[in-house]
Structure 1
Amino acid sequence: MLRTILAITFVTIFLIVSIPIWGILFIVGLFNKHAKDVIGYKCVAWAFGVVAFISGVKYEVHGLENIPKDKAVLYIGNHQSFFDVILGYHICPAVTGFLSKKTFEKVPLLNVWMKMNYCLFLTRTDPRQDLKLIIKAQEFIKQGISMFVFPEGTRSKTGEMAEFHEASFKLSTKTGCPIVPVCFTNTRAVLEAQQPRIKRAHVIVRFLPSIDPNALEGDNKKRIGLYVHDIIEKQLIEDSKLV
């Protein structure tokens, strides 16, 4: 439980101590919005890196060269653990917004950082409201902000992948941005396998080659979610042999 207590303590201290940074970022944003976005994103990415370190997560990162550097992308990841978000946020090289559950919008201080960093909160119960958020995410992508989606909709309770919601891929098909599949292997062993105790674990995060949605044909284009799901699932089987 010591790792859990230390991680929670650090996050709490960070959220409180970082409040003055909001004012600094506001001022920076008046002169240079891009600089404000980058600084704000790096602050949270650094904090999540510290959380991973405190938690004893030994992680390997592969495939960063597969991320296009000149345009926004749609990251699509499998979802086993809260640590998928922590590591994804820490590792993604450019400003990236996450589609998250509505419940996180109610977390004091954290919600400010999330909104500042282009995170959107899906209700999953109000289709009309969620459609507005999807359209807003598309606008972010057109502005050069990458988005990260876990299209299973929730964390896996067994470690097995659930089906992908096809609607998640409209962020790519409507904007033409590349899809970057992201494989998280063994993150469930950090927390969910023995929750609430955090356990040291070896994790692999792999960014697969990007996919051009406009280059797909036939069934792969009609059911792009299934196509990307199968790609990630095959890689997870291979990576599971390495942990």
Structure 2
Amino acid sequence: MENWPKRKGCVMVANHQSNFDPLLVLSVNDYSLYAPLGFIAKEELKKSHLARRFIFLIDVLFIDRNNPRTAITTFQEAKELIRIPRTMMIFPEGTRSHQQEMQEFKAGAFNMAYQSYVPIIPVTIINSYQIFDRKYKGKKDIHLIFHKVIEPSEFIKLSTDVLSKQVFNITLIVKLKRTLI
């Protein structure tokens, strides 16, 4: 948690294993210390009966994955929220993996950080896929790791492809170490 900037807007980037991931991060957000969390989510969540009740209680901006151009407008709105300040979270895999293995990060997800010129916090979520999997009974060993902040001056000259791979590797290395322990 010491890597989460205090009362400052930023972009949080995490792998995505289950529907429970946003709730995990929300549950550790101490609003007296850190900017409230907002999320970038797929448009389809508006139609989900369960998610719809929740997403309108917090800042959630939507992207239509069938029309990637909507991301431009969404990231502009996110930029305004970050200035309030908000921590805007995005899951650059684009979908849940439902397993320990991560999928490639989509480079476009990092445009929000470039447009806002704010720090990026890479986050590794470990074992959240076990929450809804019946074969993992009893105690679940779930971890959130907030990595060292990447300042805008460190990534602004990188392409989104390079930054995407860099953040993917940061989150993946810790996952590999954790599974070997």
- Highest RCO, 1 vs 2 (Cα 8 Å, sep ≥ 6): 2
TM-score band, normalised by the shorter chain? Answer: 0.7 to 0.9
> Is this contact kept in 1: 2:114–2:156, CA < 8 A?
no
Tell me: CA distance 1:213–1:167, structure 2 relative to 1, closer, same or farther (3 Å): same
Question: Counterpart amino acid of 1:141?
Answer: I
**Does residue 182 of the first structure (1) align with residue 123 of the second (2)?**
yes
Per-residue CA deviation, residues 94-116 of structure 1 (Å, 9 max, x unaligned), is 31111112222124585354234
Give the 5 Å matches for 1:1-243. Answer: 64-93=1-30, 94-108=35-49, 110-111=51-52, 113-191=54-132, 193-194=133-134, 200-216=139-155, 223-242=162-181
1:172 positional shift: 1.0
Q: Which 5+ residue runs of structure 2 have no aligned equivalent?
A: none
Question: Counterpart amino acid of 2:26?
Answer: Y
Question: Counterpart amino acid of 2:141?
Answer: H
Tell me: CA distance 1:236–1:220, structure 2 relative to 1, closer, same or farther (3 Å): farther
Q: Structure 1 residues 233-242 or 107-116, which shifts more?
A: 107-116
Q: Structure 1 residues 176-185 or 210-219, which shifts more?
A: 210-219
SS of match in other structure, 1:223: helix
Tell me: CA distance 1:198–1:169, structure 2 relative to 1, closer, same or farther (3 Å): farther
1:213 positional shift: 2.6
**TM, length-normalised to structure 1:** 0.65
Q: Which 5+ residue runs of structure 1 have no aligned equivalent?
A: 1-63
Q: Return the index of the structure with the highest Cα Rg.
A: 1
> Is this contact kept in 1: 2:39–2:59, CA < 8 A?
yes
**CA distance in structure 1 between the partners assigned to 2:156 and 2:71 by the alignment:** 28
Question: Counterpart amino acid of 2:142?
Answer: V
1:221 positional shift: 6.9
Aligned pairs, number: 177
**CA distance in structure 1 between the partners assigned to 2:161 and 2:106 by the alignment:** 13
**CA distance in structure 1 between the partners assigned to 2:43 and 2:69 by the alignment:** 14
Per-residue CA deviation, residues 139-183 of structure 1 (Å, 9 max, x unaligned), is 211221110110000011443111111111111111111111111
Tell me: CA distance 1:230–1:220, structure 2 relative to 1, closer, same or farther (3 Å): farther
> Is this contact kept in 1: 2:18–2:98, CA < 8 A?
no
**CA distance in structure 2 between the partners assigned to 1:157 and 1:203 by the alignment:** 14
**TM, length-normalised to structure 2:** 0.85
**CA distance in structure 1 between the partners assigned to 2:42 and 2:161 by the alignment:** 27
